[in-house]
A = this chain, B = another copy of it.
Amino acid sequence: MGKNLTKRDEDYSKWYNELVVKADLAENSGVRGCMVIKPYGYAIWEKMQAGLDKMFKETGHENAYFPLFIPKSYLSKEASHVEGFAKECAVVTHYRLKNSDDGSEIIVDEDAKLEEELIVRPTSETIIWDTYRRWVQSYRDLPLLINQWANVVRWEMRTRLFLRTAEFLWQEGHTAHATEKEAIEEAEQMMHVYATFAEEHMAVPVIKGLKTESERFAGAIETYCIEALMQDGKALQAGTSHFLGQNFAKAFDVKFANKEGQKDFVWATSWGVSTRLMGALVMTHSDDNGLVLPPKLAPIQVVIVPIYKGLEQLDIISEKIKPLVKELRSKGISVKFDNRDTHKPGFKFNEYELKGVPIRLAVGQRDLENGTYEIARRDTLKKEIVAAGDVIEKIEYLMEDIQKNIYQKAFDYRKEHITEVDSYESFKKVLEEKGGFISAYWDGTTETEDRIKKETKATIRCVPIDVEKKEGKCMVTGKNAPYRVLFAKAY
């Protein structure tokens, strides 16, 4: 199998689109803007879910499930929220189809028109806060720490697999607290949880920070985010966590009685990551040969390819590697022995490279005689011969080393691509020629932010949480600025 994969430096965007399809992660469906997540891609998403879900539960959250549909009137209750979400949503207006009078087709039954239209959830704050009103009476009912794994729909005009689709899968946490302080701590905690997951599971280094007012979630007081950097120098927002103040509690009248019996509105957060993480994963590590997956998220961690002539040799190899497969599995390592007789070893090598399997073992007649395996690592494509007695240890070493190595590689790339600039001229030059994050002074006004965006397509990705509070002059207006912020072109 030739991979026929466009090279990254020829056309990064095309490379990504092709890779997602060829590596069997996802494909477009017959429904505009909606994707099919294929089994191999879904297996990675399941591992992401499992990792995140464990971290949510360890921080005290429980899962629940809320309705897919939101009555139109709910959306309007929080003023800035409706502005953000009403524009791109799927609207259910009828609840029945019927045969047309001439029997030639099925049509919408106009007698089955809903009194109030239902919106397919673009996010669930409104339906959830409508529910929390019934769940919260007293301080004893707080905090409410709830997460939901769900599908959501935002009617995007231009879609790309995983990065921007009309329907996507995500989790959305929605918490309710007695105090402002506790809610802010929760929002910050979840940003840290996301960052830990991105760095330790996905091997994707991220910058933690705060969004500017114009980039905030519709209805939030503060939006915390993690920002990753792709290999083409564009940033990707990988997760957000919002401190919502009392906005939704006021909109849905959710009050609690404190210990003194006084009533007050509840404080809220919401936070989410989505199948967009799949896009970040692909674009951070993969190369011109295909996917490069971190061992922690790889559905197949080790593939064993037999090199043989005739089924008799295959049988001997199969017999030989059985104890190895068994021992690896007992260690929780997922192993595939590819004994398909319909494909040649070279085809298989290509296929597993394309699919990003971290470790590949090849075993042939000579290896059997010598008591060796050929072991190849996907990240560096290096091969070596290992004695059979050392192979388990070698695999365990590689599982950790590949995870570390691809993180470090991405970290080094990002480090090289954070550039400090002090003039708008050099800002534009760096943006054009080098890309990446640009650290610059900004006067804090939406007006300047909009101007920069309009003129350069760069947006403020965040004010990093570890920002040095050192005053300077805005690169555009020369006005005072309290600290540097990070700009980038972004997905």
Interface residues of A (CB under 8 A from B): 27, 29-31, 34-39, 42-43, 45-46, 62-72, 74-76, 82, 86-98, 105-106, 108, 117-120, 127, 130-131, 134, 140, 146, 150-151, 153, 155, 167, 169, 342
Q: Which 7 A-B pairs have the closest CB atoms?
A: A34-B67, A39-B62, A37-B65, A86-B97, A91-B94, A95-B155, A31-B67
Known: A29-B67, A153-B68. A94 touches B97 (CB 8 A): no
Given A67-B34, A120-B68; A90-B97 close (CB under 8 Å): no
Query: Other CB < 8 Å A-B pairs besides A30-B74, A76-B105, 16 of them?
Result: A29-B67, A30-B131, A31-B67, A31-B71, A35-B67, A36-B131, A42-B64, A68-B153, A69-B167, A76-B106, A86-B106, A88-B96, A89-B97, A91-B92, A93-B94, A151-B151
Contact partner, A92, options B66, B97, B120, Cβ 8 Å: B120
Q: Would A108 and B118 count as touching, CB distance under 8 A? A: no
Q: Give Cα A71 to B134, complex, Å.
A: 37
Other-chain residue from B71, B93, B96, B97 in contact with A30 (beta carbon distance below 8 A): B71
Q: Are A65 and B91 in contact (CB under 8 A)?
A: no
Question: How many whole Å from A380's CB to the nearest CB in chain B?
Answer: 29
| Residues of the B chain whose Cβ atoms lie less than 8 Å from the Cβ of A75 | 97, 106
Contact B68 A42 (CB under 8 A): no
User: Closest Cβ of chain B: how far from A142's Cβ, in Å?
Assistant: 13
Q: In the complex, A35→B64 CA distance in Å?
A: 11
Given A34-B68, A95-B155, A63–B43 Cβ distance below 8 Å?
yes
Q: Contact between B89 and A36 (Cβ–Cβ < 8 Å)? A: no
A92: B residues at CB distance < 8 A: 90-93, 120
* Distance in angstroms between the alpha carbons of A342 and B169 in the assembled complex: 39
Nearest-neighbour CB distance to chain B for A189, whole angstroms, equals: 19
Cβ–Cβ < 8 Å partners of A36 in chain B = 64-67, 131
Residues in B neighbouring A34, C-beta threshold 8 A: 67-69
How far apart are the CA atoms of A42 and B171 in the complex, in Å? 15
In the bound assembly, the distance between CA atoms of A175 and B65 in angstroms comes to 28
What is the distance, in angstroms, from A25's C-beta to the closest C-beta of chain B?
A: 11
**B89 close to A95 (CB less than 8 A):** yes
Given contacts A30-B130, A68-B34, A151-B151, contact A95 B106 (CB under 8 A): no
B31 touches A127 (CB 8 A): yes
B-side contacts of A151, CB under 8 Å: 68, 150-151
Are A29 and B90 neighbours in the complex by a CB distance under 8 Å?
Answer: no
Residues of B within 8 A of A134 (CB): 27
A360 to B117, CA, bound (A): 47
B-chain residues with CB within 8 Å of residue A39 when the two chains form the complex? 62-64, 146
A94 to B89, CA, bound (A): 8
Question: Shortest CB–CB separation between residue A105 and chain B, in angstroms?
Answer: 7
Complexed CA–CA distance, A130 and B29 (Å): 9
Interface pair A66/B29, CB less than 8 Å apart: yes
B140–A69 CB distance below 8 A: no
Task: Judge whether B31 and A72 touch: CB under 8 Å.
Answer: no
Are the C-beta atoms of B119 and A97 separated by less than 8 Å? yes
Q: Which residues of B contact A93 (CB under 8 A)?
A: 91-94, 108
Q: What is the chain B residue whose CB lies nearest that of A134?
A: B27
Q: Can you give 20 A-B contacts (C-beta < 8 A)?
A: A29-B67, A30-B74, A30-B127, A31-B118, A31-B127, A34-B67, A34-B68, A35-B67, A36-B66, A38-B64, A39-B62, A69-B90, A76-B106, A87-B97, A90-B94, A91-B93, A91-B96, A92-B92, A92-B93, A120-B120
In the complex, A190 Cα to B29 Cα: how many Å?
27
Interface-centre pick from A36, A37, A167 (highest chain B CB count, 10 A):
A36
Q: Across the interface, do B29 and A127 meet the contact criterion of CB distance under 8 Å?
A: yes
Least CB separation from A89: chain B residue: B97
Residues B88 and A95 in contact, CB atoms below 8 Å apart:
yes
Q: Which residue of B lies closest to A70 (CB)?
A: B31
A22 nearest CB across to chain B (Å)? 14
Question: How many angstroms from the CA of A120 to the CA of B155 in the assembled complex?
Answer: 15
Complex CA gap A76/B46 in Å reads 33
A131 contacts across to B, CB distance below 8 A? 29-30, 36
